[in-house]
Amino acid sequence: MIGGSKKNIEVRYYASLREQAGKESETILTDCRTYGDLYEDLRRKYPFTLNLDMMQVAVDDAFVSMGAEIYSGQRIVFIPPMAGG
Amino acid sequence: MFLLSEDRIDREKVTADLKEDQAGALVVFEGWVRNHNQGKSVNSLEYQVYAELAEKEGKKILDESREKFNLHRAIAVHRFGHLVLGDTAVFVGTIASHRDDAFRATRFIIDEIKLRLPIWKKEHYTNQAPEWVYCRDHTTHVHFEEKDYYEKQARLIDSACLSRAKVLVVGAGGLGCPALMALATAGVGEITVADFDHVSLSNLHRQTLFTTEDVGEKKATVARTRLSLMNPFIRVHSKLKRVEADNVASLVSGQDLVLDCTDNFESKMILHDACFLAGVPLISASVYRFQGNIRTFLPSEEHGCLRCVFSATPDDSLIGNCNDFGVLGATVSTIGSIQASEALEFLANQTNSTIRDTFYLDLKTLSPMKLRNLKRADCEGCGSRPDLGKKNGTDSITDAHRPSEYEISIDEVKSSDFRLVDIRREDDAVLDRLRESLAADESESEGALPSPKWVVYCHRGIRSKKLVQAQRAKGFFHFYSLKGGACSL
């Protein structure tokens, strides 16, 4: 991994992720390629109970595919499913 | 002054009190015992009264009328006991500075007395047994004008659009209660409430349609009663059903819009798939603790569907619901009200703000988010290889309900054994009539005739598609719709 591939991103958490991460947002340096990779990486850091296939991810106010590539400077929001009512 | 009297009402004595120098008008109404009612010959009457309540309520009516119509004085007297022909049963008198106020107030008072007082009337007839008569049957709401009800919203929204609309609300809980109230009071003409559950005490802190008196009652039934009282100008139906794969098609069929106010993914998925297949728009809302979201799904597929998000139904036990994580009345009421607001916007203008984006709101921090929806090219629902109906929960939504199965082109009609039926001059019951005639043929021939395939067409193929879809929802698969309608012939 060459040093320049680290990407500076802002990650925001929603609903149960916010509680499990203990924070609303954070800025991190990552070398993960996709959002899916990033979520799995974050799971090693925080006790996230939900599997990747139940998650949605939004970047700069639009939902994107988990397999899409991360770019530096992005604001990434992980959103768990909600069903209460 | 409100009085109950067993003795004859002395007009002179009562009107003596109706004097005041500022007054420019006196209006008096007297209700008399007449000799007939609904074709029956009446001898005499008997009134029974629940006095304590009647006096309290009667006084309230007079107070309201004085306030509402600028009266100087108002008097009402109601008889009870036995009355003979020609007796005055009710006396109402009002004085006001201007005659219009006095006329309207007098009318108001007598109507409210008929509607609200616990007084029951028994009629004695010339040649049959006496009967209790329910005055409310023919006098209810005479003084309520529909346009007055909507006066304050008329500048904002087209009431005619709303009164024509048929909306199904699934779930009369924390989201459903505020959504139902907002739709009903805004004047959505026909509302169906679907909920299988009973009211429990732990519902009351957030489910604002219910009171302690309703604990143990069916939610849908109570909701129907309460909404009808809130707005007498709409129709409300109740379905005491849980949404299941085998009843969902008939529930959503014929609706202009469906609101998903359920609290679990299994129901959300079943409802979403059925609406998608039936071509009915759906507005779905969910909450988690202090957060909620709202999204509108259109069958046009342009902005994706719920299957783009979850190809399989998420396991409800992993997500947690109100029982596990708690829920606050203010949060669900806000989200349910926004959902209703999106519904009204959609009904009035065929568009809203949550078609392109999903709206998220955090009530704790008041941070809103609008996130552009993602359409997945390989989606099982709206993608290039649709596979809807074969997923968990929804197995019974089979291929036969899919528009691609029953919408056929004119080329397919020519190459196969179809009968074309023009329904342009027919009403919506035409397919029911055709079905009955087919059933009659079948019973005559003991089922020996091969079943015909009818291709129905209207001008553009939109109405025919809706009617065919409704028949398929009822389990009848002989009808097809001509794509493009008469324009394609």
pLDDT digits (tens, 9 = 90+) for B398-428: 445 555 677 788 877 776 777 888 888 888 8
Instruction: Give the span between the Cα atoms of B259 and B186, in whole angstroms.
Output: 15
In a mutagenesis test of the B interface, which of A23, A49, A63, A77 is the best target, namely the one with the most B β-carbons within 10 Å? A63
Helix (H) or strand (E) holding B32: strand B25-32
Beta bridge partner(s), residue B73: B95
CB nearest to A82's CB, from B287, B315, B372: B287
* Chain A residues within an 8 Å CB radius of B293: 82
The Cα of B374 is separated from the nearest Cα of chain A by a number of Å equal to 5
pLDDT digits (tens, 9 = 90+) for B250-264: 999 999 999 999 999
Question: Average pLDDT in the A13-40 region?
Answer: 92
Assign domain B149-372 to its CATH superfamily: NAD(P)-binding Rossmann-like Domain (3.40.50.720)
Confidence band (pLDDT; 50, 70, 90) for B114? Answer: confident
The Cα of B239 is separated from the nearest Cα of chain A by a number of Å equal to 19
B317's CB contacts (< 8 A; 6+ apart) are none
Query: CB A16 to CB B320 under 8 A?
Result: yes
> pTM for this one?
0.61
What is the average pLDDT value for chain B, to the nearest integer? Answer: 86
* Chain A residues within an 8 Å CB radius of B176: 85
pLDDT digits (tens, 9 = 90+) for B266-280: 999 999 999 998 999
* Chain A residues within an 8 Å CB radius of B283: none
Confidence band (pLDDT; 50, 70, 90) for B462? Answer: confident
Residue B89 DSSP class: E
A36's CB contacts (< 8 A; 6+ apart) are A52, A66, A67
- Put simply, whether A67 touches B (Cβ < 8 Å) is no
Q: Give CA B19 to chain center in angstroms.
A: 47
pLDDT digits (tens, 9 = 90+) for B54-78: 898 899 999 999 998 999 999 999 9
CB nearest to B309's CB, from A15, A56, A84: A56
Contact B23, B96 (CB under 8 A): yes
Q: Could you tell me the residue ranges of all domains in chain B?
A: 2-143, 149-372, 399-488
- Put simply, whether A56 touches B (Cβ < 8 Å) is yes
Instruction: Give the span between the Cα atoms of B77 and A14, in whole angstroms.
Output: 64
Q: Pick the more confident residue, B465 or B294.
A: B294
Tell me the residues of B at the A interface, defined by beta carbons under 8 Å apart.
171, 173-176, 261-265, 268, 285-289, 291-293, 309-310, 312, 314-316, 318-322, 325, 327, 332, 358, 360, 365, 369-374, 376
pLDDT greater than 70 at residue B323? no
Assign domain B2-143 to its CATH superfamily: Molybdopterin biosynthesis MoaE subunit (3.90.1170.40)
Query: CB B263 to CB A83 under 8 A?
Result: yes
* Chain A residues within an 8 Å CB radius of B320: 16, 84
CA dihedral B369, B370, B371, B372 (to 10 degrees): -170
Domains of chain A, first to last: 3-79 (3.10.20.30)
Out of 3.40.50.620, 1.25.40.10, 3.40.250.10, 3.40.50.920, the CATH code matching B399-488 is 3.40.250.10
* ipTM score of complex: 0.82
CB nearest to A83's CB, from B264, B358, B374: B264
- Put simply, whether A61 touches B (Cβ < 8 Å) is yes
* Chain B residues within an 8 Å CB radius of A79: 360, 371
* Chain A residues within an 8 Å CB radius of B376: 65
pLDDT greater than 50 at residue B148? yes
Separation of first and last alpha carbons in chain A: 46
Query: CB A63 to CB B358 under 8 A?
Result: yes
Q: Pick the more confident residue, B198 or B138.
A: B198
